[in-house]
Structure formats: C-alpha cells, structure tokens
Structure 1
Amino acid sequence: MIDGTAELRLDFYEYVSGKLAAEGVHTVFRERTGPLSYLADYRPSSPFEVIVKNRATGSTMRKYPGLFTEGQLLDRPVVKFDYRTDPEDQPIGEDYLRMLGLDVDAFHEAAQHCNAVLRRLLEPLDLWDFCLIIAPDEKRGVVINSEISPDCMRLRSAEGECYDKDLFRQGASGDEIIKKWTELMGIITRA
C-alpha cells in the first residue's frame, strides 16, 4: 500500500456507502471513527468475488483473447463470479454457487443495482468495471461486504485519464496516485 492512499480510499468508501444506502444498496459500513478507521457490521467473507463489467478490460481481455477490443462498451453490464484463489482468481459457475446454498439471483441483482447507482454517482467519469464481495444478510437479503474504492475498480475520464487501481499497475508514483484520487474525490463530491 502506498502511504497516503488509505485515507483517500476510506474517504471514497464512506462517501459512496452513504449514497448507495440512500438508493437501497446496503453495505457493511456503519461510521467513520478516525482518519484510517471505521466501524462495520461483521459478515463472514465468502471465498468468491462478484465482478461487474461495463467495458471489456482486464480479465475479459486475458481470458477471452480476440473476442473484444480493449475498452469496448458492452451491450449490457456483465456480472461474473470469481473464486478467490492464487495465483489468479478463477471463474466459478453460478450453478456451483447455488449448490452451496447461495441466492445467486440476489447477488446478481445487488451487483447490478450497485453498478447503476455508481455509474450515476461517478459521472462524468466512466466506470469500466469493479469487484465486490457480497454477503447474505438476514434483514436485507444481501449486503456489500467489501470496500468500494478506486482500488477495486477501473474508472476513466472521457479523455482516457485513469483514476483507479491501474495507476499502480502503470507505475505511477505515490504522489501521482494521491493527486489523482484527491481529484477524484473533488469530481464525485462536486467540490
């Protein structure tokens, strides 16, 4: 982790969690208790993540070479499930998840709802993809059980500027990442 990014990730998560909750998408986030700390409802973490793709990028390009072009807008958002294993997460079929007793349709619906809210909230930036961990919840059906931050998504400006996890991968310095994520908070809070 790069010094100075944890607080920005938490700023983003706190802000987005409030907006999502107002739209009926519940997260485990309860309240911020300090610059780098917050309270959350405990839910056991599942061994798989839910990934929403609005554009072809990342694993879509690696796993399905030749089918899409990088950045291609998909006709509709794609929701997929990956089993979190090393060295690379592996896709897991929805029928396997159903056999484990999971309400896959509820997970799908929560991911799509989260995507719709995030896309509106993050305008004018374009949300290419993001990943979540979703957990069953007795009161709400399901909740988002993971951080939502630039570290778990791909987010681009109309000019192609990167505001996300790919900054790390492209070798940006810590100062560059902090600058972009600070700029991102200004964009989404309209400050």
Structure 2
Amino acid sequence: MSRRRRIYEGKAKILYEGPEPGTLIQFFKDDATAFNAKKHEVIDGKGVLNNRISEHIFSHLNAIGIPTHFIKRMNMREQLIKEVEIVPLEIVVRNVAAGSISKRLGVEEGTVLPRSIIEFYYKNDELNDPIVSEEHITAFGWASPPEIDDMMALAIRVNDFLTGLFLGIGIQLVDFKIECGRLYENDMMRIIIADEISPDSCRLWDVKTKEKMDKDRFRQDLGGLLENYREVAKRLGIMNENEPPRGSGPVLVKSD
C-alpha cells in the first residue's frame, strides 16, 4: 500500500488525501472517546461497524436527494468522500430529552420534547464545544444567515428520514449530531452533510426496552458497546447475525 498524505486526524477518524482532486479518504478508527477525550479507550471493531452503518445511512440520504460528502465505501474501514470546507459547528437535533439538555434545563431524561429542537455548538475542544446562538454564529463569521437556514433545513430532513428508518427496526431516535461542509463546484458553493452518522453520533434506544444502543454505553460505563453497535447494524440489514465486526481490517498507513 502506497504512502498517503494525512490531512487531518480527529478523535475517531483520519482523513487522507484522495485518489482524485477534490476527494479524501476517511478512515474509521476504533477509538472511543467521551467528554472531549478525557475518557478514551480502543474498542476493536468499532470503526468497522461505524463505517458500515454510516455508509448505509449516507447512501440512503444521497438516494433521496439530501446532499452528502459520501461517494462510496472502499473497504472495511475507509470511505471515499468529497473534500469540503467544514463549518465549525455541530448541529444537534433533539426529539427526546437526554444528555446535556436534561442537565441544562432540568428536563427528565426520556421526556418527549414538544417538538424537535435544533441546537448549534461551536466546534472547539479546548472550550468543550459550547452551545451557541445564531447571533454568535453570524457575529463571529462561522456561517452566514443563508448557510444557517440551509443547515437547519438539512437537519430537519435528516431527522425525518432517520426517525422513520430507525423506528422501522424498533429503535427510537432520541437525538443526533451532524456536521456540514461547504462544497465548491466550479463557481458554485453549497452546504452538504459531512462527517458521519452512526451510533457514535446518535442516541438510539430500543423502542420496547429503552436499552441504550449508542455511545452512552461508553460514556456511562454500561458496557456492551460493540454488541449494541452490532445489533444496530444487524437490524439495518447490513450485517449477518453471526458475522463478527472484523477488527483487523486494512493496515493503517502512517505518514510523517
């Protein structure tokens, strides 16, 4: 395997230079992190599952006309994606109270919200990704008002799709996080979905038992993270019941 130039490394993924201009290779690591990496473990096979689940979701989003950076899955751990300029915001859509909104507003976890709520967080690990308003976003130039409108519209469409997708397999979509990027094509720029959508970025509860099937199992020391990610993949129909998430996968190429 030839050496590739590393573009960026985050907590859960590495981006490498792609084979064609305007493309990147997104590598899914096995690292599990919480509380801005204050808690960290390596869980063999997690990256393989997230790659498969995110591929499945992004392929469906592309098919129904929701623009994403996803082009194709290359192997067990890597995707070919379009290169975008990431907007420095996390867009969180909440359907049920859990996590920080319960702590901030004193809403009991599990309370169905009156309507879906969209929140913005500034992507900055040193500041612990603070929640921000549209006023902050425009004042500091992180995104323009039309871009905010586009991101909110995309978030609502993704929420509608994911809610139905997961409900159909007995899973409640509590909330999820997406990131968006600016895709430049010729003289045009448009906002598209980037990053990943997986149990790392969604809160997923079993409809009947309310068992958590997402990264809260790691955050809250519940155990069984890999088993629950595998169950999500199995219900989505992308993994056979007895298929192990092959942890070895392709060799990670180190670059200077």
Compute the TM-score of the two structures, normalised by the length of structure 1. 0.90
| 8 Å contact kept, 1:56–1:74 | yes
2:134 matched residue in structure 1:
94
2:23 matched residue in structure 1:
none
| 8 Å contact kept, 2:83–2:183 | no
CA distance in 2: counterparts of 1:40 and 1:30, whole angstroms: 5
Deviations 1:72-113 (A, max 9, x none): 101111001001223522111112323425221111000010
1:127 matched residue in structure 2:
173
Query: Is 1:170 aligned with 2:215?
Result: no
CA distance in 2: counterparts of 1:8 and 1:154, whole angstroms: 16
Larger radius of gyration: 2
For structure 1, the 5+ residue unaligned runs are none
Percent of pairs with identical residues:
27
For structure 2, the 5+ residue unaligned runs are 1-30, 32-42, 241-256
2:61 matched residue in structure 1:
20
CA distance in 1: counterparts of 2:196 and 2:153, whole angstroms: 18
CA distance in 2: counterparts of 1:87 and 1:141, whole angstroms: 28
Q: Which 4+ stretches in 1 moved above 6 angstroms? A: none
From 76, 81, 105, the counterpart of 2:115: 76
| 8 Å contact kept, 2:85–2:183 | no
**Range with greater deviation from structure 2 (5-14 or 86-95):** 86-95
1:163 counterpart SS class: coil
CA distance in 2: counterparts of 1:98 and 1:109, whole angstroms: 17
| 8 Å contact kept, 1:23–1:117 | no
| 8 Å contact kept, 1:31–1:38 | yes
| 8 Å contact kept, 1:9–1:150 | yes
2:87 counterpart SS class: coil
1:115 counterpart SS class: helix
1:62 to partner: Cα distance: 2.0
1:185 matched residue in structure 2:
233
Deviations 1:16-65 (A, max 9, x none): 01111122212111111111111110112222110000011111012223
Deviations 1:97-141 (A, max 9, x none): 234252211110000100100111111210101111112335683
From 182, 205, 208, the counterpart of 1:136: 182
| 8 Å contact kept, 2:215–2:225 | no
Number of aligned pairs?
A: 187
1:108 matched residue in structure 2:
152
> RMSD over aligned Cα, in angstroms?
1.8
Higher relative contact order (CA 8 A, sep 6+): 1
2:246 matched residue in structure 1:
none
CA distance in 2: counterparts of 1:114 and 1:78, whole angstroms: 13
CA distance in 2: counterparts of 1:88 and 1:76, whole angstroms: 26
CA distance in 1: counterparts of 2:122 and 2:198, whole angstroms: 21
1:149 matched residue in structure 2:
198
